[in-house]
Amino acid sequence: MISLADRGTFEFTVPILIVGGGACGCVAALAAKDAGVAPLLIEQDARPMGTTGMSQGLFCAAGTKAQAALGIDDDGETLFADIMAKTRGLADPVVARAIAFGSGPTADWLIETHGLPWTLDTGFRPAYGHSRFRVHGWYGHEGADMVPLLHQKLAEADIDVLLGARLTDIFADSDGRVRGVEIMRPDGAIEHIGCETLILASGGFAADAAMVARFMPEMAQARQNGHEGSRGTAVRLGAAVGGALADMGAYQGYAMLTEPQGISVPPGVIVEGGLIVNIDGQRFTDETADIAGMVHPVMAQPGGHCWVIFDAGIEARNAYVPDTRALIDLRAAKCADSIGDLAALIDVDPATLGAALAEAHAARREGRVDAQGRAWSDDTPPVAPFRALKVVGAIYHTQGGLQIDGEARVLRTDGRALPNLFAGGGAARGVSGPSYWGYLPAMGLCTAVTLGRLAGETAAKHVLDMRSILPLQSEVVVAT
């Protein structure tokens, strides 16, 4: 903590400082600038990517113009109901409402005002808890394309970005009012920057082994497939200035990380009819029940890996997804024209594998749920020619973090908002409930962009409100 008298030690002061150059930070920066205040965004890496850069670039949003154009009947109330159903009523209702009602307008604003080429992904059917077609993305592109595009939009909006600048400390008064930050440069140099508001968009803590072991011990030994920069900066420093933490045991695990390629099998492979079997050739779960929670039944199987079984048709229908294309290009899948040949290729018992497929086909034909409780409808179990991909379970990203209100203000443990601290995306509590089973598909980026927008707008309003009662504090304010 520093006192007011120490403010003179800052090299310069900005109205809004945003930490993190992933989806949340970039969107917060655009929102702040659109609201009339030019922020400074800092990012620890020389080339920003973050978890956003590793993602498939898909985000859910309700009530968008892209949905309306295709006659999809969806709105904030429906998404809110889906979030609360998926989380067994345990998501924070205030944050859930902010996300459910804010996601559609956020998507429309980014598309219309900033020209982001996002549209509804009609290949991603309602599944895993979404009751509507509402997953949006950039057709044929992924997160690795999205991050450079967002940074291009920052440049077009004349927003200052400082790369190679790692947040190492926050300076605040005893009431939690942030006065500035300490950053470390790649050569170890320390700099102090003052700020009137601070937005923490520095992601979660999936790469911090000690935090994972503490908050989600069941994943302590799991494969880590998050971004190495997700080291819990926001949680640690935000809590140190008085921020409350919530849902710290929440995360997205993923059951279908290919071995050895380390590429995610897109969820569409399952949604279109794919199955998962263990090294004995047996199915053991309803593959459509839980996109994130499926990691646990997979990790519990003997031998440490499983096989995703699908077919050439499913592969073709998913070929627009960059991860599918990468797997095809690498010839990662085992390919066979018969179940017997496939079983030999993946070294499982052919009779067991054949029986698993036959039972799924029978259930679909007879219009009943199958032995694993999976209900078949438009999806069809695999038919020849077959494909198989070897997969392992992994932790991808965390969903707990700083407790926020519906405007992305960080709250104290007594529920009151800290004066000028905001958080979003992986840095903040999401809407996945307390554990691993509450994650809805494409919710990570949804919370990143929606809370990013809310944080940027609210921080800008805070600065402008303060300007009306206090003399100018910082050097860079742009009223557009």
Ligand X SMILES: Cc1cc2nc3c(=O)[nH]c(=O)nc-3n(C[C@H](O)[C@H](O)[C@H](O)COP(=O)(O)OP(=O)(O)OC[C@H]3O[C@@H](n4cnc5c(N)ncnc54)[C@H](O)[C@@H]3O)c2cc1C
Taking CB under 6 A as the binding criterion, the range among 100-108, 153-161, 226-234, 275-283 that sits at the site for ligand X is: 226-234
Taking CB under 6 A as the binding criterion, the range among 72-80, 229-237, 284-292, 459-467 that sits at the site for ligand X is: 229-237
- Is the Cβ of residue 406 or residue 424 nearer to ligand X in the bound state? 424
181 binds ligand X (CB under 6 A): no
Taking CB under 6 A as the binding criterion, the range among 115-123, 273-281, 300-308, 443-451 that sits at the site for ligand X is: 443-451
- Is the Cβ of residue 225 or residue 372 nearer to ligand X in the bound state? 225
Strand partners, 398: 251
426 binds ligand X (CB under 6 A): yes
- Is the Cβ of residue 54 or residue 110 nearer to ligand X in the bound state? 54
* Distance separating alpha carbons of residues 160 and 154, to the nearest angstrom: 8
- Is the Cβ of residue 167 or residue 388 nearer to ligand X in the bound state? 167
* Distance separating alpha carbons of residues 19 and 202, to the nearest angstrom: 6
Strand partners, 311: 386
Q: Which of 83, 167, 342, 392 binds ligand X (CB under 6 A)?
A: 167
* Contact (Cβ atoms closer than 8 angstroms) between residue 59 and residue 107: yes
442 binds ligand X (CB under 6 A): yes
Q: Which of 13, 87, 202, 278 binds ligand X (CB under 6 A)?
A: 202
Size of the site for ligand X (CB under 6 A): 43
443 binds ligand X (CB under 6 A): yes
- Least distance in angstroms from the C-beta of 286 to ligand X: 22
Q: How many other β-carbons are positioned within 10 Å of the β-carbon of residue 341? A: 15
393 binds ligand X (CB under 6 A): no
51 binds ligand X (CB under 6 A): yes
241 binds ligand X (CB under 6 A): no
* Distance separating alpha carbons of residues 10 and 27, to the nearest angstrom: 26
233 binds ligand X (CB under 6 A): yes
* Distance separating alpha carbons of residues 122 and 145, to the nearest angstrom: 20
DSSP structure string for 215-231: H-GGGTTSEE-S-TT-S
226 binds ligand X (CB under 6 A): yes
- Least distance in angstroms from the C-beta of 264 to ligand X: 5
87 binds ligand X (CB under 6 A): no
- Backbone angles phi and psi of 300, in degrees to 5: -80, -10
* Residue labelled with tokens 């937005």: 199
Amino acid sitting at position 131: S
- Least distance in angstroms from the C-beta of 438 to ligand X: 14
Cα angle: 428, vertex 223, 233; to 5 degrees: 30
- Least distance in angstroms from the C-beta of 57 to ligand X: 6
Q: Reply yes or no: is the peptide bond before residue 15 cis, omega within 30 of 0.
A: no
Strand partners, 199: 18, 422
* Residue labelled with tokens 């409350």: 244
- Least distance in angstroms from the C-beta of 69 to ligand X: 22
- Backbone angles phi and psi of 395, in degrees to 5: -95, 135
Q: Which of 294, 448, 459, 477 binds ligand X (CB under 6 A)?
A: 448
Contact map string, positions 19 to 48, toward ligand X, x by CB under 6 A: xxxxxxx----------------xxxx--x
* Distance separating alpha carbons of residues 120 and 68, to the nearest angstrom: 10
227 binds ligand X (CB under 6 A): yes
- Is the Cβ of residue 257 or residue 346 nearer to ligand X in the bound state? 257
**DSSP 8-state secondary structure symbol assigned to residue 404:** B
- Least distance in angstroms from the C-beta of 236 to ligand X: 9
Q: Which of 390, 397, 409, 429 binds ligand X (CB under 6 A)?
A: 397
Joined tokens for residue 164? 């190679």
225 binds ligand X (CB under 6 A): yes
* Distance separating alpha carbons of residues 46 and 166, to the nearest angstrom: 10
Q: Which of 128, 396, 437, 439 binds ligand X (CB under 6 A)?
A: 396
Q: CA dist 68 to 30, 73, 75, 108, 125, Å?
A: 25, 7, 10, 11, 16
Of 320, 289, 276, nearest to 127 (Cα)? 289
Q: Which residues bind ligand X (CB under 6 A)?
A: 19-25, 42-45, 48, 50-52, 54-59, 166-167, 201-203, 225-227, 229-230, 233, 264, 396-397, 425-426, 442-446, 448
